[in-house]
Amino acid sequence: MTNNKVLLDWVQEVAELTKPEKVVWITGEEAQLEEIRKEGCSTGELIKLNEEKLPGCYLHRSDTRDVARVEARTFICCKEEKNAGPTNNWMDPQEMYLKLNKLYDGCMKGRTMYIIPFAMGIVGSPFAKYGIEITDSIYVVVSMNIMTRIGTQVLDAIGEDGEFTKGLHSKADLDPEERYIVHFPEDNTIMSINSGYGGNVLLGKKCLALRIASYLGQKEGWMAEHMLILGVENPQGEKRYIAAAFPSACGKTNLAMLIPPEGYRKDGWKVTCVGDDIAWIRIGEDGRLWATNPENGFFGVAPGTNEKSNPNALAATRKNTIFTNVGLNLDDNTVWWEKLDKNPPANSLDWTGKKWDPALGEPMAHPNSRFTAPAKNCPCIAPEFDDAKGVPLSAIVFGGRRAKTAPLVYQSRDWDHGVFVGSIMASETTAAATGAVGVVRRDPMAMLPFCGYNMGDYWQHWLDMGKKISNPPKIFNVNWFRTDEEGNFIWPGFGDNLRVLEWILKRADGKIGARETEIGFIPEPSDINIEGCDIDLDALTGILQVEKEYWKEDIKSIKEFYAKFGDKLPEYLAKEVEAMEERISK
Residue 77 annotated to the active site = no
Query: 98 in helix, strand or coil?
Result: helix
The answer to the question of whether 534 is labelled as a binding residue is no
The answer to the question of whether 265 is labelled as a binding residue is no
Measured between alpha carbons, how far is 49 from 296 in angstroms, rounded to an integer?
A: 22
The answer to the question of whether 248 is labelled as a binding residue is yes
Measured between alpha carbons, how far is 372 from 399 in angstroms, rounded to an integer?
A: 25
Half-sphere exposure of 142 (CA within 13 A, CB side): 32
Do residues 365 and 62 make contact, with C-beta atoms less than 8 angstroms apart? no
The answer to the question of whether 370 is labelled as a binding residue is yes
Measured between alpha carbons, how far is 574 from 579 in angstroms, rounded to an integer?
A: 9
The answer to the question of whether 494 is labelled as a binding residue is yes
The answer to the question of whether 254 is labelled as a binding residue is yes
The answer to the question of whether 277 is labelled as a binding residue is yes
Taking CB atoms within 8 Å and a gap of at least 24, the contacts of 260-264 are: 260/495, 260/498, 261/495, 261/496, 261/498, 261/499, 261/532, 261/533, 262/532, 263/531, 263/532, 264/495, 264/498
Counted residue by residue, the chain has a size of 586
Per-residue HEC secondary structure of 322-382 comes to EEECCEEECCCCEEECCCCCCCCCCCEECCCCCECCHHHCCCCCCCCCEEEEEHHHCCCEC
Strand pairing class (149-150; 112-120) = antiparallel
Strand pairing class (189-193; 165-170) = parallel
Relative orientation angle of helices 213-220 and 455-468, to the nearest 10 degrees:
40
Half-sphere exposure of 31 (CA within 13 A, CB side): 0
The answer to the question of whether 61 is labelled as a binding residue is no
Query: Which residues, in sequence order, are CB contacts of 214 under 8 Å at separation 6+?
Result: 223, 224, 447, 450, 451, 452, 453, 458
Do residues 463 and 446 make contact, with C-beta atoms less than 8 angstroms apart? no
The DSSP string of 137-164 is -HHHHHHHHHHSEESHHHHHHHTTT---
Measured between alpha carbons, how far is 369 from 381 in angstroms, rounded to an integer?
A: 23
The answer to the question of whether 253 is labelled as a binding residue is yes
Catalytic pick among 57, 78, 107, 250: 250
The answer to the question of whether 496 is labelled as a binding residue is yes
Smallest CA-to-CA distance from 201 within 138, 262, 280, 257 is with: 138
The answer to the question of whether 557 is labelled as a binding residue is no
Strand pairing class (327-329; 426-428) = unpaired
Query: 402 in helix, strand or coil?
Result: coil
Measured between alpha carbons, how far is 103 from 110 in angstroms, rounded to an integer?
A: 16
The answer to the question of whether 452 is labelled as a binding residue is no
Query: 232 in helix, strand or coil?
Result: strand
The answer to the question of whether 240 is labelled as a binding residue is no
Q: In what order do the strands lie in the sheet with 228-233?
A: 270-275, 228-233, 239-245, 395-399, 474-478, 409-411, 521-522, 515-516
The answer to the question of whether 250 is labelled as a binding residue is yes
The answer to the question of whether 251 is labelled as a binding residue is yes
The answer to the question of whether 318 is labelled as a binding residue is no
Annotation: binding site for GTP: 249-254, 370, 401, 494-497
Annotation: binding site for substrate: 69, 197-199, 248, 368-370
Annotation: binding site: 69, 197-199, 206, 226, 248-254, 277, 368-370, 401, 494-497
Residues belonging to the active site: 250
Annotation: binding site for Mn(2+): 206, 226, 277
